[in-house]
Structure 1
Amino acid sequence: MAGHIHTLHEGTALVGAAQTALERSGQQWTTMRAAVFDALAGFERPASAYDIAEAVSKAEGRRVAANSVYRILDLFVDANVARRVESANAYVANAHPDCEHDCIFLVCDACGQTTHIDDDHLSDNVRAAAKKAGFQPQRPVIEVRGRCADCR
């Protein structure tokens, strides 16, 4: 991947960018998917499907099953609308769904804060090492566990 410039979206621009990315992947932006995205984007830290289901249930005034949320989150990840923090089994809204690249997460073991950084040089090296080993990388996952500046 070459160096790139991307726009970080927030608020209504983030919702619009997410909807565009989902539709570009061939999926529809339904009312339920919009509700799940709104809930996901409302969390300051990575959220589990259960956290999101609870938030949507409160907002909708009806019970929403975590299984339904998981299916929507899978669509979001496939469409680059959300990213999965593998080690936490949690999700974050992708603030730049119009940009395809590998994300690197810095995960604080004390408070759970997760910071997303981009480093195309590091990502390129991981992909190159995988290819050199005869492996075709699809979606490298890079997570660094430790302590954030606030918790050190």
Structure 2
Amino acid sequence: MTGHNHHEHSGKSLIEEAERVLTQSGEQWTAMRADVFAALAAHERPASAYDIAEDVGKARGKRVAANSVYRILDLFVRTNLANRIESANAYLANTHPGCRHDCIFLICDDCGQASHFDDDKLTTALREAGQQHGYSNVRPVVELRGLCPDCTG
């Protein structure tokens, strides 16, 4: 497995780094975006936009539309603050915002836990295969499903 070094953030450090990365990309860190990111970061497992909307609504004391949350989550994915778990239509906060690399996600079919690892050799081969077929800006999204060690133990 090949990879590279990056600093994993958590808690307040993760939120501060996400704000820094988003504002450096030319976007504003609004109160709603901060609330959505905080709610997303609080989840240990991938969360849907509806889960996040419910969490933010409870924190704000008023209903929050899932459509608004989807738009913010899409922005977070574009700016590398979050990763989308395609097969589950759910999101995970990126613990190393601003670090651009292709993650390979491991998703447990039983408990829903998701983790990731880097394998630049594999994702580079996928990107090159896409380019050989005429695609540009290829972004591999790799998900492996199975049972995590906790569920098989």
Conserved? CA contact 1:109–1:147, under 8 Å: yes
Would the aligned equivalents of 2:80 and 2:100 in 1 still touch at CA under 8 Å?
Answer: yes
Quote the Cα distance in structure 1 between the aligned partners of 2:61 and 2:8. 31
Asked whether the equivalents of residues 57 and 63 of structure 1 are also in contact (C-alpha less than 8 Å), the reply is yes
Tell me what 1:134 maps to.
Answer: 134
- Structural mapping, 1:56-135, within 5 Å: 56-135=56-135
- Shift of residue 138, structure 1, vs aligned partner: 2.7
Q: Is the 8 A contact 1:47 1:92 kept in 2?
A: yes
Q: Give TM-score scaled by structure 1 length.
A: 0.94
Using the alignment, how far apart are the partners of 2:4 and 2:45 within structure 1?
26
The answer to whether the Cα contact below 8 Å between 2:127 and 2:139 also exists between their aligned partners in 1 is: no
Check conservation: 2:41, 2:93, Cα contact below 8 A: yes
Q: Is the CA contact 2:130–2:138 (under 8 Å) kept in the aligned structure 1?
A: no
Quote the Cα distance in structure 2 between the aligned partners of 1:96 and 1:35. Answer: 19
| 1:31 CA displacement | 0.4
Which moves more between the two structures, 115-124 or 41-50?
Answer: 115-124
> RMSD over aligned Cα, in angstroms?
1.3
Q: TM-score, normalised by structure 2?
A: 0.94
Check conservation: 1:110, 1:151, Cα contact below 8 A.
yes
Percent of aligned positions that are identical: 62
Deviations 1:1-28 (A, max 9, x none): x953110011111011101111122110
Q: Which runs of 5+ in 1 are unaligned?
A: none
Q: Which runs of 4+ in 1 moved over 4 A?
A: none
| Residue 98 (structure 1) shift | 2.2
Unpaired runs of 5+ residues, structure 2, are none
